[in-house]
């Protein structure tokens, strides 16, 4: 939904993940769900799947090189992957690798393309880094598992630090609090809108943060408590 919202509003979007078939399906769904499919199909495809595991340094370097060779720059990096936990000792550690470490190394790897985006000046706001954290980062109940909650708390603090250090480089760091799905439901009292979150909720949030309207955001937590 993030990729679709950005692409439908004029952005060229690369989506990255381990399973190419899932990425291709997501890109195709964006076409089929367009409000004007016939017009959309006439456009050049601008949601581009790239297969890679961001917990593997070689994959990350290859992806950065591919995007740099194609475009030379990026204006926005969104880290949106996450897994729950824990299970075994190794699975607990792997939750950190995906939810926290991969975000850190992705930001570092894309610093040059992000700075190139600033130099290009094709948008008015500075280049941005956005990471999806989670309500578990602020919740005393480990609703999605201890490893998940602790790793997301680490993401939140890491982005606070990035917001300070990257600002010195002319970049901005933001982290929206991601939605959480629970099969057993959640008491209405903890959901002010008293309704499930919709695609438009996240789409609206991401378009605000990445537009000129969000140009002064830096080090902000954007929390939308809807499920």
Quick one: 185 and 136 in the same domain?
Answer: yes
Quick one: 46 and 127 in the same domain?
Answer: no
**Domain for residue 57, yes or no?**
no
How confident is the model over 14-36, as a mean pLDDT? 81
Least confident window among 19-28, 79-88, 171-180: 171-180
pLDDT at 91: 81
pLDDT at 178: 46
Least confident window among 18-27, 97-106, 163-172: 163-172
Q: Which tens digits make up the pLDDT trace of 212-224?
A: 888 788 877 776 5
Quick one: 193 and 82 in the same domain?
Answer: yes
Q: Give the pTM.
A: 0.81
Quick one: 24 and 113 in the same domain?
Answer: no
Least confident window among 32-46, 65-79, 200-214: 32-46
**Domain for residue 65, yes or no?**
no
Q: How confident is the model at residue 15 (pLDDT cuts 50, 70, 90)?
A: very high
Q: Which structural domain, as residue segments, surrounds residue 154?
A: 72-223
96, 132, 149, 152: the active-site residue: 152
**Domain for residue 44, yes or no?**
yes
pLDDT at 146: 85
End-to-end CA distance of the chain: 15
C-alpha triplet 1, 59, 20: angle, nearest 5°: 45
pLDDT at 194: 60
Q: How confident is the model at residue 180 (pLDDT cuts 50, 70, 90)?
A: very low
Q: How confident is the model at residue 39 (pLDDT cuts 50, 70, 90)?
A: low
Inter-helix orientation angle 57-70/102-109, to 10°: 30
pLDDT at 37: 52
152 among known catalytic residues: yes
Separation CA 47–CA 56 (nearest Å):
23
46-67 burial by CB neighbour count: b if 16+ within 10 A, else e?
bbbbebbbbbeeebbeebbeeb
Quick one: 94 and 140 in the same domain?
Answer: yes
4, 127, 148, 149: the active-site residue: 148
24, 14 Cβ separation under 8 angstroms: no
> What residues pair up with 175 in beta bridges, in sequence order?
221
Three-class DSSP category at 42: coil
133, 151, 223, 224: the active-site residue: 133
Residue pointed to by tokens 């917001």: 163
pLDDT at 195: 60
Q: Domain tally for the chain?
A: 2
CATH number of the domain where residue 166 is located: 3.40.50.720
Q: Which tens digits make up the pLDDT trace of 50-104?
A: 999 999 999 999 999 999 999 999 999 999 877 877 678 888 888 889 989 999 9
Quick one: 46 and 77 in the same domain?
Answer: no
pLDDT at 167: 77
């Amino acid at each position: 939904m993030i990729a679709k919202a950005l692409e439908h509003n004029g952005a060229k979007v690369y989506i990255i993940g381990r399973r190419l078939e899932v990425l291709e399906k997501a890109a195709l769904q964006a076409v089929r769900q367009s409000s004007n499919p016939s017009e959309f199909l006439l456009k050049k495809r601008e949601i581009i799947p790239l297969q890679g595991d961001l917990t593997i340094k070689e994959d990350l370097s290859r992806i950065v090189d591919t995007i740099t060779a194609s475009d030379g720059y990026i204006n926005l990096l969104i880290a949106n992957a996450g897994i729950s936990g824990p299970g075994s000792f190794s699975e607990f550690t792997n939750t950190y690798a995906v939810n926290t470490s991969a975000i850190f190394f992705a930001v570092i790897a894309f610093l040059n393309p992000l700075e190139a985006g600033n130099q290009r000046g094709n948008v008015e706001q500075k280049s941005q880094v956005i990471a999806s954290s989670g309500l578990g980062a602020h919740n005393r109940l480990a609703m999605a598992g201890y490893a998940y909650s602790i790793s997301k708390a680490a993401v939140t603090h890491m982005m606070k630090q990035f917001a300070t250090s990257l600002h010195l480089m002319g970049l901005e760091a933001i982290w929206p609090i991601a939605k959480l799905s629970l099969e057993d439901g959640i008491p209405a009292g903890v959901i002010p809108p008293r309704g499930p979150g919709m695609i438009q909720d996240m789409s609206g949030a991401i378009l605000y943060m990445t537009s000129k309207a969000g140009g002064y955001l830096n080090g902000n937590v954007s929390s939308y408590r809807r499920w």
